[in-house]
Every structure is written in C-alpha cells, then in structure tokens.
Structure 1
C-alpha cells in the first residue's frame, strides 16, 4: 500500500487530501525545487485508493505525535510575524517575555523585590505608594525595606493618607509601568545562548570546564572566545574595588572564604587581606595555613559559592561587577 510510494508521492497525496486552499498556503512556504518535485509527483500519481490515503494520514499523525512539539518564544514570534506587523509582534513578545501574571499587578508580584525597588526608588513617592498598595503586603514589605530610608518614609506617609485611587490615575501608572519598566525588564530577560553557556561553564569544575572548552574551541573558536569573555570566575573578583570587597567579606562565610582562597593567586589573596583589619587578616592567614592539603573539587565549590554571593550582591545593587579530578593543593 503506502509503503510503495516515494517521499514526494506521499507528500503529494497529503496535499491533495488537504484540498486546494491548504495546499496553496503550503506551496507558498516551499522552495522552487520542492514545488517542482511535488508538482511532478502530483501530475503522475494517478488514482489512489482511499485506504492508502487513510493510512498515509494516520502515518503522518503518528509521526507528529512521536516527534512531539516544542513551544518557545522564537517559534511563537515567527508565527506572529506571518500575520502581524513587526512593531505589533515586538510589543506582544515583550509583554509575554516579562514576568508571569494576568494583570500588571500580578506580574509585579513576580518581580524580584531588589529589581522592583531599584526601579521605584527613582519614581515619585506618590507613584510608589500606589504600586505598593496594589501588590501583596509581604512583597510590598520587602520592597519597602530596600528603599532609601528617607524616601521609604515619604512613601509610607502617602500610603497612610491615600484614599481611593481614581481609575484614570491607576490606568496612568499601569501604562507607565508597562511602557517603561515591564518592556525594559522583558528585553533584559532575553538571554543570549552564549550568556547561558557562560553561566553553565561558571558552575563546572576546572577539569570539566577545560575539557569542554578545549573541544568547543576545535569546533567553534568564535563561540568559545565569546563564552570565555562572558564568564565571571573567582579570579575576576580582582575587578572589585575596596568597598565591594568589604561588602563581600561581610556576606561570605569565613570557612568558605579560606577554602576558596587556598587556590587563589597571590594578588587576589592580597586584595582580600588588605581590606581586612590587621587582626582579621592574620586570622584568615592562620585559617589558610591550618587547612593543609585540600581537594581541588572542594576549592572549586567554595570559589563557586563566593562568586554566586558576589553576583547576588551585584543584583541587589550592593556591589559593582565589571563587565573533576581529585587533585590536591598543598
């Protein structure tokens, strides 16, 4: 039955079964050579038994079910661009790429308090009061705690004096949030694949990172160099200024820091030592000396923990970041 048909013949049967309207739409998406092959198959097909048509449709349906479907932002954007203007598609994609939620206030509830506070601190206190009155109290509390003290008090006073917000004023705040904050947040959330891979590489142990990076350099040197440029490693902490190092020192666990510094360069150790008091620096040096030989994997894990802490502090605006084998360290 259908087994005796070639690929182009099977496709020709399916297009004929779909009818002229659907077949015409599909032809518009094909290359000229594909249209020529299918047209030849159609013209020479002859009569096809209804059982063959049914079997082919079933085979086609089974192949779709087996392969599965992948829904993602890129596929959605491509489909929308076929029926809408690029500007309209960009507006829709920016909105759906933003935080989840049916309404603007639902979406704000899914934005990190640090990100939201960083945006709101530059707004009028009255605007911030409206926003905090519309999100959940626990989220509002966390945002309020991150605002500058004097500014936070201005917001509190306006919230206390606030009566029912007029519909027009509320709609104005929503429009501003959508046009400025949410659209910028959606654009920021578009992750470049190289940025994602750099983050993954940051979490590999040195042995695995070296092996995979070497293999990638052979396959695609340009991508390897781009990923390496985006990676933020423990050694990159030398980019921090003294104030940043001191903030990090207060946040990181002391035993983790000692273990992380066991495998650090002398210049990075000195950077940490000189930003400690003389007594604290001596204690850290004594802790380092007392560690003895340690596994490289343990050092890697400690350094990764310190780097993660540094990134968290940077995300909160507290510091600025500039843009295995069981080996032993004696």
Structure 2
C-alpha cells in the first residue's frame, strides 16, 4: 500500500510533458520520430525542449511511464468499446480496484472523449449535405468546424453562393464555442445526429480552419467566397488570402510556373526569403534559376549575415503575393481540391 501511494505521488509530480519526453526517449529515435510527425507543432517544441534537458532517466521511471501508457491505452479501448462502467469492470479485474480508480480518474482529468459531431464526421457527404442544406448558416459553420477539411469542402460547395460566403464568414470568425451552444445545436438536430457532448470550451474554426476548407473547394468557389468576404469583412479576407498559399507551397508549382514567379521577384526579396528554409526548398528554387543567377544568389546569401525573422517573413510574403497575383491573372496554376487537370 505504501509503495502504491509513493508511486502515485511520484506520478503526480511528473508533469505530462516530461512523461511524454521520457516515453519518446524510451521508444528510441526512429519510432519517436514517426510519432512526433503526428503531433501539433507547439507540443513538438515543448517535448523536444524537455528531451534536450533530460540528462538521465532511471529504469524505474521508464517502466512506470510505459506501464502507465499501457494501462491508459487499455482503459481508453474499454471506454470506447462499452463506456466508463464497462471500463471500470474490466479494469477492476485487470488492475485491482485502487489502480483502476486511479486510471479512470486520470482519464477524466484529461477528458478522454470523442469530439462533438462524431457521427457527422463519419457520415456520407451526400447525406450530410442534404441534412445541412435546411440548417441556419451558423449551425452549418459550427458543424463544419468539427469536420475533416476535405469533407467540409465537399459539403460547402453544394450550398448556394450567397450561403457559401455567409458560412465561410462564420467559420472564419469563430474562435471558441461553449458546451451550451454545442448542446443547443445538437438538440435541434438530435433526431439526425447523436454524438458525445463536450463539457469544456474548445477552440474551433478560425482562419486556419477556413483556409483548410477553401484549399479543397477549388479556385472558382474560393474566389467567390473570398470576394464576398472582401465586401463583408475586408480584414478577414486579407488574412485568409495571405494564408491560402504559403512560401513553402511554392514547391508544389510546375517548374515553368516557378520560373515565371522568380522573374517577378526582386533579388533582395529572394535572398531574404530563402533564409532558414529547408535544403529541399532551396535546391528547388536553385533548379529553376540559371547557373549565374544561382551563383549570385549564393554570394548574396553568404554575405548578408543574420536577418530578423520579421524581415524574412515579409520577404516570403512578398513572393507569395506575386504567386497569388499571377494565379489570379491565370498566368500560373495552383492545384486545388476540385479543379480539372491541365491539358497540355
């Protein structure tokens, strides 16, 4: 009993980031790298910092954290299979009453539950579209915020143009939603949707969500929606346009289109924009320049020295502005979700 109490106290003192860092160390670099690719950038930064600052991990720490992970994973499967009561019964048999209670309590603390509108995410897009066509724009916007961007795009393009822009505006301006709002909407459509209700405020929507959806709907629909946004909310429209294509996305363009872009970009902007980018992206740019231009660019980059991040980002955005302008005029082609292929 004393050993269990000591173990629990030790576990509580160790925060989640440290646990994650030790768990990654225990898994080894190859497996950890694959897991890290699936994590949010902010979490990757925190875990990476913690890993870098861990000098030593005892065998006991490793074993405790791995065992905790296995227990939590097992408990999660039980909950998803049959709910908390079912999980408690099986965990009591597997771990004993005390440890089962500890695991369930930890699951409650980290709120291990499905996101709202889970059935909507699994539903057939055509059926879901028919269901949502009669709903208010604010209702549709909230539901789309919780859906996969590609499926949300499939649904959005089936709405009339005026409703598309209104729904898009609402998605772009949502920053958070409360359990009461979610519950109210779910009750309105409870005969069609049955999903688990979140009890805590959750960040949904916003510009990033809208951009992910717009990147899937195709250029024609995108232009119509952004055009309406420019009239309704110019600042939101500018933020959306700036996010629709990033500097790193230049690697997705055809070589001939990249060369057109580079002819429009000043050397000063290009030198700054290439500061700190990946070798792959830098080589891609060099491959689309003449040998002499590459040599000049490398010399300028070498003698430039350190540059402020804000200056680099501004230069990259200047390049993106050129790309967006050429795309707008039909001089280059940015691949989007539902556009036809180019015929040579």
TM-score scaled by structure 2? Answer: 0.31
